[in-house]
Amino acid sequence: MDQAASLHHRTVKVIAIASGKGGVGKTNIVANLGCALADLGERVLILDADLGLGNLDVLLGYAPQYNLAHVFAGEKTLAEVMVTGPKGIRIIPASSGIQEITRYGGMEQRILLDQLDQLEEEFDYLFVDTAAGISDLVTSFSRAAHEVVVVVTPEPTSLTDAYALVKVLNRQYGESRFMLLPNMVKNREEADAVYRKLNLVCEKFLDISLDSLGYIPHDPAVSRAVRRQRAVVDADPAAPVSRSFQLVAGELQRRTIQPKAGGLQFFWRRILDGEPARE
């Protein structure tokens, strides 16, 4: 770790939200945990690293003018491409710039790292909304983050895809810390069953235990909010699902301790250098 990073008293906690299978609720979880943490006084930054449909910009109803590609091209500063979401959460739209990220040379990387250094003091959390599947980009964001939240639904395909993701990150990159968040479950019993199933195979075949972060119930209030291009925690704070997001946000606050190494710079260095994420 360089000296500049060690001088910071606070560092940003970087949390990747991943799933294996698509459509399990990652983007909604990022937006709503972001809102719930903002309500708890945390300063939240989101990196929209998902290029698929139903993106964060669609979900929250904003139209980004610029994205990370403009930062790399030296045309805009990071602060200039960021947009403001509900409850003051800030969003970095990645767009097509994200796929290019590892191809940039030393100069461009330096520009980004210097600007990130300035942001380090301004945020408490960085959430990375990843795309579906187990692409190189998804694994490198998950490896670089301090914590990985694996979103899973009770569907068997979601369970097998979540296991495939955990297995790749564990076997190939030595990751052993995963927080599990079952989504769209009927009740606590179903969430517990999902946790038990996945944890059992992880213990048996990978020799790791998953950390349970709670659960998010299936609630029609989510799609009502989505249709209004709002996060449910923001649009319908009294809905049962919003209460669940608040509980999970509290759990996350308790779990995520201050990372030792400089948060944002460290995260991007790991991505840009392609270093393994072993501690």
CA distance 67 to 80: 9
Q: CB neighbours (10 Å) of residue 260?
A: 13
Q: Decide whether 112 or 248 has the Cβ nearer to ligand ATP.
A: 248
Judge whether 141 and 128 are in contact, CB under 8 Å: yes
Residue 109 is a binding residue for Mg ion (CB under 5 A): no
Q: From the CB of 47, what's the least distance to Mg ion, in Å?
A: 13
Q: CB neighbours (10 Å) of residue 207?
A: 9
Q: From the CB of 242, what's the least distance to ligand ATP, in Å?
A: 10
Q: Is the dihedral of CA 252, 257, 258, 263 positive or negative?
A: negative
Q: From the CB of 28, what's the least distance to Mg ion, in Å?
A: 8
CA distance 154 to 218: 11
Q: Decide whether 35 or 112 has the Cβ nearer to ligand ATP.
A: 35
User: Would you tell me which residues interact with ligand ATP (CB under 6 A)?
Assistant: 19, 22-28, 50, 52, 54, 132, 183-184, 216, 218-219, 222-223, 226, 241
CA distance 255 to 148: 12
Judge whether 120 and 10 are in contact, CB under 8 Å: yes
Q: Decide whether 23 or 237 has the Cβ nearer to Mg ion.
A: 23
Q: Decide whether 53 or 257 has the Cβ nearer to Mg ion.
A: 53
Among Mg ion, ligand ATP, none, what binds residue 116 when CB lies within 5 to 8 Å by partner kind?
A: none
Q: From the CB of 55, what's the least distance to Mg ion, in Å?
A: 6
Q: From the CB of 259, what's the least distance to Mg ion, in Å?
A: 25
Residue 27 is a binding residue for Mg ion (CB under 5 A): yes
Among Mg ion, ligand ATP, none, what binds residue 23 when CB lies within 5 to 8 Å by partner kind?
A: ligand ATP
Among Mg ion, ligand ATP, none, what binds residue 133 when CB lies within 5 to 8 Å by partner kind?
A: none
β-pairing, 44-48 vs 83-84, is: unpaired
Q: From the CB of 1, what's the least distance to ligand ATP, in Å?
A: 33
Residue with tokens 């669940």: 244
Contact flags string 87-106 toward Mg ion, x per CB under 5 A: --------------------
Q: Which residue is nearest to Mg ion (CB)?
A: 27
CA distance 102 to 214: 34
Q: From the CB of 199, what's the least distance to ligand ATP, in Å?
A: 21
CA distance 104 to 102: 6
Judge whether 54 and 222 are in contact, CB under 8 Å: no
Q: Decide whether 10 or 228 has the Cβ nearer to ligand ATP.
A: 228
Q: Decide whether 22 or 64 has the Cβ nearer to ligand ATP.
A: 22
Q: Decide whether 117 or 155 has the Cβ nearer to ligand ATP.
A: 155
Judge whether 67 and 96 are in contact, CB under 8 Å: yes
Residue 50 is a binding residue for Mg ion (CB under 5 A): yes
Residues facing 217 on adjacent strands: 185
For the chain, the first-to-last Cα distance in angstroms comes to 12
Q: Which amino acid is at 245?
A: F
**Interface ranges with Mg ion (CB under 5 A):** 26-27, 50
